Amino acid sequence: MTKFSDLSLNPKVLKAIADAGYETPTPIQAGAIPPALEGRDVLGIAQTGTGKTASFTLPMLSLLARGRARARMPRSLVLCPTRELAAQVAENFDTYSKYLRLTKALLIGGVSFKEQDLLIDKGVDVLIATPGRLLDHFERGKLILSDVKVMVVDEADRMLDMGFIPDIERIFGLTPFTRQTFFFSATMAPEIERVTNTFLSNPARVEVARQATASETIEQGVAMFKPSRRDRADSEKRKLLRALIDAEGEKCTNAIIFCNRKTDVDIVAKSLKKYGYDAAPIHGDLDQSQRTRTLDAFRGGELKFLVASDVAARGLDVPAVSHVFNFDVPGHPEDYVHRIGRTGRAGREGKAITLCNPRDEKALAAVEALIQKDIPRLDNPLGTAPQDEAPEAEAREDSPKKPRRSRSRKSDKEAPAPATAETATQEVGEDQPREKQTSKRGERGGRGRSGGDNRTVGMGDHMPSFIAQSFDERRN
């Protein structure tokens, strides 16, 4: 079995790896590190949770061990799709570079430009950034990318989903064509393949698992859900989520709950807290400081339930997440793989449960087609649909009774209002052909072209007789 000591890494890097408690590389690490140390471009394809970050961090540190950075000219560049992933990569560099005299800078949104400028001005060996913030610094003249020797694109398929591919192509154009490039992704969409064909030179392709597959250590399940009424669908769905959490009991030590929309993240988190669950939200609209505090609390075990949008689906390395709950079936099937990959990491067992209502069945079918397996259906802990409809019946009994408006003329005839001569005429007219209705209107003083009693138009049926007489005399 291959060990890290067999991979020709820098001795100081090996010492840091040993301090971290690692001895045996994962398959993606064993496959990507040797060609990276040889100076080749690397295209790595592996499911989430397989150790892709160390696959480029360790060889980069070994390659950068010699040399010194110049002001505003970083020696290496790592691009990440989200702030959280960029911060996590930075933590990995801190862990494995503890015995090397290398500097780094983290360029992400939500942090002062001034602080970041000061780090860049001193010169950094490793620059870790999100594409937007990197280009902001470049356009302000604070950054020069002509000395980049190693460039990494992490979670490339997420870059595609977030619309960053044009920015990535622009950044590639700003770096030297002689750079060494590491390109990592969990899936290979056609657009991603086009980018790799354009900017990578004869890369070593390392694919350690079939694309878009979930770890075998993750137990998957789907709870089918049919609301009793459309306007109660959201509240009943949150009730089902709480029931599923309770059904797991002590096995659920902590969990990430994913929602498709940011508004639902806040609503679900607030609902869980209302019912006594230790939950907090995280999504892209929150301040970076608040997102960092929430993540730190979840990693440290102070927070049990993290309610998240897909901003947290990529790259969050919290090794001991016992459960993932998909409050919504993701719109993109690939996101399902990344979401459930937050559990069952590093060989641990995990469980992923998805809530699916009838309108999400097509999205669920797309997920099953992508992972090429049927996801087992779970029993609904709330019981069958008729039991869920009981509150509706109670609500109808408690509410004040109002007369129901009929939607059909037939029912109006079956339950008529108190009859008068005028209403009887109207009811007969509504059921007759259009030309007969016209004649009836004419008989009542309307603008009918046939028949009529020559009443003055616009004065109504209750016009005083003396007014009608005066008009008739003038007209005659």
Do 414 and 367 sit in the same domain of this protein?
no
Give the amino acid at 127: L
In this structure, is residue 401 part of a structural domain?
no
Do 232 and 200 sit in the same domain of this protein?
no
Domain containing residue 232: CATH number: 3.40.50.300
- Domain stop point among 207, 242, 266: 207
Q: What letter does residue 70 receive in the DSSP assignment?
A: B
Do 252 and 336 sit in the same domain of this protein?
yes
In this structure, is residue 366 part of a structural domain?
yes
Q: What domain count does the chain have?
A: 3
In this structure, is residue 396 part of a structural domain?
no
Per the structure, the complete domain to which residue 116 belongs is given by: 4-207
Do 232 and 345 sit in the same domain of this protein?
yes
Do 324 and 270 sit in the same domain of this protein?
yes
pTM strictly above 0.85: no
pLDDT 10s digits, 403-449? 445 444 444 444 444 444 444 334 444 334 444 444 444 444 444 44
pLDDT at 211: 58
Do 112 and 157 sit in the same domain of this protein?
yes
Do 194 and 247 sit in the same domain of this protein?
no
pLDDT 10s digits, 308-331? 988 655 656 677 899 999 999 998
The two three-digit tokens of residue 113, written as one number = 């430009």
pLDDT at 315: 58
pLDDT at 44: 92
In this structure, is residue 368 part of a structural domain?
yes
In this structure, is residue 399 part of a structural domain?
no
Do 59 and 15 sit in the same domain of this protein?
yes
Residues in Cβ contact with 353 at an 8 Å cutoff, skipping those fewer than 6 apart = 220, 221, 222, 223, 244, 323, 324, 325, 326, 378
In this structure, is residue 173 part of a structural domain?
yes
In this structure, is residue 192 part of a structural domain?
yes
Regions of the chain short of the pLDDT cut 70: 1, 48-49, 209-213, 311-317, 346-347, 384-476
In this structure, is residue 120 part of a structural domain?
yes
Q: CA 127, 182, 112: angle at the middle one, nearest 5?
A: 20
pLDDT at 325: 97
The two three-digit tokens of residue 392, written as one number = 């509706």
Do 337 and 247 sit in the same domain of this protein?
yes
The two three-digit tokens of residue 271, written as one number = 């609902």
Do 229 and 186 sit in the same domain of this protein?
no
Give the amino acid at 269: A
Give the Å distances, CA to CA, from 137 to 122, 170, 181.
Answer: 15, 14, 22
pLDDT at 395: 39
Do 40 and 145 sit in the same domain of this protein?
yes
Do 222 and 186 sit in the same domain of this protein?
no
